[in-house]
Amino acid sequence: MNTTLDLDGRHGAMTYRHARARLGDGRLRTAVEAGRLIGFGRGVLLDAERVLDLRTRCAGALLWTGGVGVVVGPTAAALHGCTAVGGFPVHVRVPYVHRFRSRQGVIVHQGDVPEREVITMDGLRVLPLDLAVAEVLCSSPRRAALACADQAMREVPSSDPAEFVTQVAERLAGRPDRRGTRRAAALLGLASGLPETAVQSAFVLVLADCGVGGPVYQHEVRDRSGRLRARLDFAWPEWQVALECDETGEGVKPNDYLAAQGWIVLRGDVHDLSDPTDLVTRLRAALASRTQAA
Q: What is the pLDDT of residue 111?
A: 92
- Written as tens digits, the pLDDT of the chain (294 aa) is 333 334 667 899 999 999 999 999 999 999 999 999 999 988 999 999 999 999 999 999 999 999 899 999 999 999 999 989 988 899 999 999 888 999 989 999 999 888 999 999 999 999 999 999 999 999 999 999 999 999 999 987 666 788 999 999 999 999 999 999 999 999 999 999 999 999 999 999 999 999 998 999 999 999 999 999 999 999 999 999 999 999 988 888 889 999 999 999 999 999 999 999 999 999 999 999 998 876
Answering whether pTM is above 0.85, one says: yes
DSSP the chain: --GGGG---GGGEEEHHHHHHHHHHHHHHHHHHTTSEEE-STTEEEEGGGTT-HHHHHHHHHHHTTT--EE-HHHHHHHTT-GGG---SEEEEE-TTS----BTTEEEEES---GGG-EEETTEEE--HHHHHHHHHHHS-HHHHHHHHHHHHHH-S-S-HHHHHHHHHHHHHT-S--TTHHHHHHHHHH--S---SHHHHHHHHHHHHTT---PEEEEEEE-TT--EEEEEEEEEGGGTEEEEEESSSS-----HHHHHTT-EEEEEEHHHHH--HHHHHHHHHHHHHHHHH-
Q: What is the pLDDT of residue 2?
A: 37
Q: What is the pLDDT of residue 3?
A: 35
Q: Rounded to 5 degrees, what are φ and ψ at 284?
A: -65, -40
Q: Is the peptide bond before 276 cis (omega within 30 degrees of 0)?
A: no
Q: How far apart are CA 259 and CA 261, in angstroms?
A: 5
Q: What is the pLDDT of residue 4?
A: 35
Q: How far apart are CA 270 and CA 207, in angstroms?
A: 14
